[in-house]
Structure 1
Amino acid sequence: MFQSFAAGADPTQGGPRLARLRVAMAEAGLQGFLVPRADAHQGEYVAVRDERLSWLTGFTGSAGFAVVLPGIAGVFIDGRYRVQVRAQVDLAAYTPVPWPETQPGPWIAQHLGAGVVGFDPWLHTADEIARLEAALSGSGVTLRACANLVDAIWPDQPPPPQGRAFAHPDDMAGQSSAEKRAALAAGLRKAGVRAAVITLPDSLCWLLNIRGADVPRNPVLHGFALLSDDARVTLFADPAKFDAATRAHLGDEVDLQPPAALEAALRALTGPVLVDRATAPLAIWQLLEGAGIAVQTGDDPCRLPKACKTPAEIVATRTAHLRDGAAVVQFLRWLDETHPTRPLTEIDAVTALEGFRRATNALHDLSFDTICGAGPHGAIIHYRVTEETNRPLGQDTLLLVDSGAQYRDGTTDITRTLPLGDPGDEARACYTRVLQGLIAISRCRFPKGLAGRDLDALARAPLWMAGLDYDHGTGHGVGAFLSVHEGPQRLSRLSDVPLQPGMILSNEPGYYREGAFGIRLENLIVVTEAPPLGDNRAQLCFETLTFAPFDRRLIVTAMLAPGERVWIDAYHAEVLAKIGPLLDAATQDWLKAACAPL
């Protein structure tokens, strides 16, 4: 099994560890300390060594941070984790704080009054610290960069990850590393920049056509890179992670150096040097500015080209989704036929789904730990089942299953919500509204230049009409055998990045009723040029990549508009045509019934 069901951090240790951290703060002359869920590379996913927030507080969500003060320790979490945080932290020691509604600056000023708050400059971006300093201006609270105090009190902190790097084939990437480096170097020269600092693991993996194993569920390598305007790259990563074949794949224009060489190399640069204030750790800025090197602010040059997949990447991704769709359909049939005959638990369902993916003989890893929530667990948006929380699937409720896989040819992410017996008319009505939101995004045509924030409301409108909503974005970017959460593209009211052809996104509206059930439906989609229509304005649309049926037993057909019903029937016909030939005869028969016209 890739997925483990052992409990994560121990919330009973939260209080004692908090007490030790406060002692360390006092010894350092600090009245506060910031504990982010971040590593030095500022990616969303972190290695076990860098799970400082989880180790300290017990909270295991993929986003959030803690602010520890002498009299209060706040755990700041967004709408995805409001239920989860209360179940995972010791509420006698930690106070959940709704974020971004509550910003850390005013909160610190209110609860501290005056004093010094420490932070590790490798774990925070320049933008993040600048915003916090501005919010604290005049409050009597100042910030101080310092050594990491959590590391100082974590006696058995795991060592740095030692996953092996390996080559990602040029034909699957659609471009060689040399071609990518040349294109980006030309952009640096045009901007008058001598070098760019690359800090995001998926950016350097994309740039060099390599993959790694330093972060669970994400085939990325920990490291930093300096891209020069002559297209040469210095890669700072542990040389022990590279065998002879991978070193040869890097080529002569990529110089591999140990991570300890980074600081001296930064000080030796000739500016201007491009650094992304939104993703690079503040320590990078401090090193460059301390050496008197001119720094130019700009986006990570890899992020946008990486987001716009090549035709080869899209072809490979389609293949991965067909393989994955067949595994998911096998799981759906297994659940449909097995649940009525014997008791099942959430762990049983997760184990079975992974088994069907493993049977493809192409599974590299999961793309994230499967979210499988029965009944009220479905309302915990990023629920992860453990041996302690494992729940019987039960009867007359819903089961939410959000899962994905890493194949060498693509990354998948799919969510289906399924009936366990008769969940009731209210659950079916909510399910139908969520499905209508997914359909609205799937069918959308939109002018070039629009961003995710311009489309997000389309998915929410059916829910809004019933006074309902969900507290997460409608969709995130997805990599090509890279991170399942990829920027800068998103379907979100916060995203101002224009959508471009080749961008892959999730389409996943939802609805969650705490203590009762959760509903989420998700397909992956790719932005494409829209065919000519009307007065031939330049427009874009979405191609659906994910193929597995929606459960017809949960669809209230009378609620659907004619166009919505046509879309569902056409989608199910495509599922049958694409996935059916990949299945055995009995599963084909099951799929034919599941995809019958409404």
Structure 2
Amino acid sequence: MTVKERITALREVMAEKKIDAYLVPTDDFHASEYVGEYFKCRKYITGFTGSAGRAVIMQDMAGLWTDGRYFIQAAAQLEGTGVELFKMGEPDVPTVHQFLEEKLGEGMCLGFDGRTVSAEEADELTELLAKKGATLQTDSDLVGEIWEDRPALSCEPVMELDVKWAGESRADKCARIRKSMEEKGADGFVLTSLDDIAWLLNIRGGDVHCCPVVLSYLVMTKTEIRLFANEKAFSASILDALSKDGVTILPYDSIYEYVKTFEKDMTVLLCKKKANCRLVNSIPKEVTILDEANLTFLPKSIKNPVEVENERIAHIKDGVALTKFICWLKKNVGKIPMTELSAGEKLYSFRAQQENFIDNSFDPIISYGIHAAINHYSATPETDIAIEPGNFLLADTGGHYYEGTTDTTRTIVMGSVNDEQKKYFTAVLRGMLNLGNAKFRYGCTGVNLDYLARSPLWEMGQDFNHGTGHGVGYLLNVHEGPNSFRWRIIQGDNAVLEEGMITSDEPGYYVENQYGIRHENLLVCKKAEKTSFGQFMCFEHLTMVPFDLDAVVPELMTVQERALLNNYHAQVYKKISPYLEEEEKEWLKEATREI
């Protein structure tokens, strides 16, 4: 069926069930950023393939809301479908909730699959619509009813992450969380976030593309841990190891019936922002719910010394692969055929040569020329174009290794670029270097530091329409909270920067239909000196990959900025060159020369 036909079929089911508006989020049952094929209802109903967005379908309209990363992509993919694009954050564009408040009145009904909407949002919508005399229906998966040949729920094999990689045993982590439960006065802890469960139990899986997580829910009490998952995904040895640590496996879907058995005098901690509304509504009303951030959320983001040292190793391996890739690109562009997709395959082959490489940490964003202006463009067979001399190639890619997760962006000159492109390339690089060089008092958040990355562009009246940086998991999700770099304050995404947190530093600049620039390193937060003013903090660059000096204008950089780049490049050469062939080593020596 075409998108128009799917929407027509959905409207017929909505009419039967007396639903006036149907909300289709991107989420799975766990509020995941990226979801498995089974859960891609929003993609199915609208045709938009981006990782963020939500649709609202009514009898007389269909709309898609997405953020600035995807404005260009969404406009192209929605063309001719009858689905209207709502550009989130733009002037005079209503939010989804504002739109629903305006459109739904007395006696009307909003529907959605309650497993894909958080309890927090469901509460907000209930209150919002009650004022208008409208109601909610949350027990129907209407897209599932019309989706022929829907993929099955994933059940990929589970692996156990050895302590030499994790740095802390499952038993010790669980003891830490139980201590936090005691401090909070909680008898139980309901955990639904897939990466948090994987971190807590030192397990990894493959149920979400590029995210090594296991479809599961977890309930911890003072004496028991119940993991709701597909037992077929676990080997006998892992089941035995989990059992020895007090973890019992129960069927994935049985969580909804299980929470109904909670004793009425229990106090249960969960995060309504993460737990879906059907699950929370299944808990007896008499149970006291502590709605707080998951107890695993902050500990997971603070990498222990073993994890940090492993990440240094992972980034040297990844740096070798990327350096080989950039060298190959520079020497072969215009001489042999290459496209965005074939370049991605070539990079994968370089990563696969590295010991303990597992997979990409996300689908590679390798975009040439006009495609690089689309922040999160990923090539498909339909959009794939040739890479030729005369523009930038933007490569935002990463890998999963047993030693950790990487995420690096380099903008590479293919042949030559003009003076304007060099000016903005240099400005973005200056911002990235200045943020990486930040020194600050403990207690600062990414909002305090974001200006360092944007100031070279802001001074020219320019900017980029995405966050400057995100937290990164350890062999987990490449986007991980609560740490970030942003100029806007976003609730729950503005944590104090702690020693051991890994955050990306990735300013950019994009000119629609012309080119795009982004430079990205991962930084680990460290303690600096302690003075009478308190503890000071700084960053260490984990990423070890050269920047393309062919687009750097030294005259546009301060003396300090040139020193930062030269010092960084000296580190890159020292750490990466021992693993290169002689010809590659000579290339890297020139590529990291002092300016």
**TM tier, shorter chain?**
over 0.9
Structure 2 counterpart of 1:206: 199
Pair 1:238 & 2:230 matched: yes
Paired residues of 1:474 and 1:508 also in contact (CA < 8 A): yes
Paired residues of 1:437 and 1:460 also in contact (CA < 8 A): yes
Paired residues of 1:523 and 1:544 also in contact (CA < 8 A): yes
Once the two structures are superposed, the pairs formed by residues 245-284 of structure 1 within 5 Å of their partners are: 245-252=237-244, 253-270=246-263, 271-284=266-279
Pair 1:587 & 2:580 matched: no
Pair 1:539 & 2:549 matched: no
1:232-278 superposed Cα distances (whole Å, 9 cap, x missing partner) = 31100011111112112213311111113312321222310001011
1:300-341 superposed Cα distances (whole Å, 9 cap, x missing partner) = 111110000110111111111100100000000000000032
TM-superposed deviation, 1:284: 1.9
Once the two structures are superposed, the pairs formed by residues 52-71 of structure 1 within 5 Å of their partners are: 52-71=41-60
Structure 1 counterpart of 2:100: 108
Mean CA deviation greater in 537-546 or 247-256:
247-256
Secondary structure, aligned partner of 1:158: coil
Paired residues of 1:198 and 1:226 also in contact (CA < 8 A): yes
Structure 2 counterpart of 1:77: 66
Shift in alpha-carbon separation, 1:330–1:316, aligned structure 2, 3 A: same
User: Alignment partner for residue 382 of structure 2, among 388, 392, 402?
Assistant: 388
Structure 2 counterpart of 1:517: 515
Partner Cα separation in structure 2 for residue 401 and residue 288 of structure 1: 46
TM-superposed deviation, 1:91: 4.1
Structure 2 counterpart of 1:326: 320
Corresponding letter in the other structure for 1:526: V
Pair 1:574 & 2:578 matched: no
Structure 2 counterpart of 1:219: 212
Secondary structure, aligned partner of 1:530: strand
Partner Cα separation in structure 1 for residue 142 and residue 35 of structure 2: 18
Partner Cα separation in structure 2 for residue 453 and residue 91 of structure 1: 40
Shift in alpha-carbon separation, 1:91–1:469, aligned structure 2, 3 A: farther
Structure 2 counterpart of 1:448: 442
Paired residues of 2:529 and 2:535 also in contact (CA < 8 A): no
Paired residues of 1:289 and 1:295 also in contact (CA < 8 A): no
Secondary structure, aligned partner of 1:185: helix
RMSD across aligned positions (CA):
1.5
Secondary structure, aligned partner of 1:343: coil
Secondary structure, aligned partner of 2:560: helix
Structure 2 counterpart of 1:49: 38
Paired residues of 1:57 and 1:90 also in contact (CA < 8 A): no
Secondary structure, aligned partner of 1:577: helix
Paired residues of 1:126 and 1:285 also in contact (CA < 8 A): yes
Secondary structure, aligned partner of 1:317: helix
Structure 2 counterpart of 1:165: 158
Partner Cα separation in structure 1 for residue 172 and residue 582 of structure 2: 46
Pair 1:336 & 2:330 matched: yes
State the TM-score, normalized to the length of structure 2. 0.96
Partner Cα separation in structure 2 for residue 578 and residue 467 of structure 1: 38
Structure 2 counterpart of 1:120: 113
How many residues are matched? 584
Corresponding letter in the other structure for 1:460: R
User: Alignment partner for residue 467 of structure 1, among 461, 466, 482?
Assistant: 461
Consecutive unaligned residues of structure 2, counting only runs of 5 or more, are none
Structure 1 counterpart of 2:183: 190
Seq. identity, %: 36
Partner Cα separation in structure 2 for residue 100 and residue 161 of structure 1: 34
Structure 2 counterpart of 1:487: 481
Paired residues of 1:510 and 1:520 also in contact (CA < 8 A): yes
Partner Cα separation in structure 1 for residue 83 and residue 170 of structure 2: 47
Structure 2 counterpart of 1:9: none
TM-superposed deviation, 1:111: 4.0
Pair 1:557 & 2:548 matched: no
Corresponding letter in the other structure for 1:510: G
Mean CA deviation greater in 495-504 or 33-42:
495-504
Paired residues of 2:356 and 2:403 also in contact (CA < 8 A): no
TM-superposed deviation, 1:569: 0.1
1:394-432 superposed Cα distances (whole Å, 9 cap, x missing partner) = 332111110001111110110000112222111111111
Mean CA deviation greater in 256-265 or 505-514:
256-265
Partner Cα separation in structure 2 for residue 421 and residue 155 of structure 1: 48
Partner Cα separation in structure 2 for residue 211 and residue 118 of structure 1: 34
Paired residues of 1:288 and 1:295 also in contact (CA < 8 A): no
State the TM-score, normalized to the length of structure 1. 0.95
Paired residues of 1:366 and 1:406 also in contact (CA < 8 A): yes
Paired residues of 1:235 and 1:255 also in contact (CA < 8 A): yes
Pair 1:504 & 2:502 matched: yes
Paired residues of 2:138 and 2:278 also in contact (CA < 8 A): no
1:100-154 superposed Cα distances (whole Å, 9 cap, x missing partner) = 4531122123345552110111101122223334444533443221211000100
Secondary structure, aligned partner of 1:531: strand
Partner Cα separation in structure 2 for residue 412 and residue 365 of structure 1: 11
Shift in alpha-carbon separation, 1:461–1:498, aligned structure 2, 3 A: same
Structure 1 counterpart of 2:433: 439
Consecutive unaligned residues of structure 1, counting only runs of 5 or more, are 1-11
Partner Cα separation in structure 1 for residue 383 and residue 149 of structure 2: 26
Corresponding letter in the other structure for 2:303: K
